[in-house]
Amino acid sequence: MPLVEIRPPAFPVLLDLRYATADNLTGAPIYRRPACYLNAEAAGLLHKAIALAAQMQLRLKVFDAFRPTEAAWALWNHTPDPTFLADPRKGSPHSRGAAVDVTLVDADGEELDMGTGFDAFTPLAFHGVLEITPEQQANRALLLGIMTSAGWDFYRNEWWHYQLFQPRRYPLLSDAAAGTDMM
């Protein structure tokens, strides 16, 4: 199954691919090179979300999308917490090219305040928490509205994670099988 590369100008998003840097939960790069891919269905829904955000003078910033199975294992071996990471034996929507981790940025490229950062493995990252400010709740609701209106499902424990409905209809992909040369 070919994947679609997500990059400007075809996809007018900001890329902040955290797993290609040390700025992630492991403190070390997971990906050998920064690249962002989705399967064709997910790429189509991302286009819809981009258009909806643009109507509000906002843009999407992408932290992660396709995650080769090798990367899923690296994350799991570092932090085997099923509250926030899919057990690689079962597979993640990310490893199927069927999930994206995003936030919203304003016209200046500044992230809207969501109450926690990306990959904050804490209950404060859950959708619907009341222990964040009303502005942070509104920003999360805005992101949720954009993404779900574009056809995405959400993961209740991570405000940044959106995936296709029924992602398991797509196969798990290693870096070699996907041909992404990320690992």
Active-site amino acid positions: 158
* Residue tagged 């926690």 (tokens): 116
Q: How far apart (Å, rounded) are the C-alpha atoms in residues 101 and 67?
A: 11
Q: How far apart (Å, rounded) are the C-alpha atoms in residues 70 and 67?
A: 8
What's the chain's length in residues?
A: 183
Both tokens of 25, joined, read 């939960």
Strand order in the sheet with 14-15: 14-15, 59-64, 99-105, 161-163, 153-154
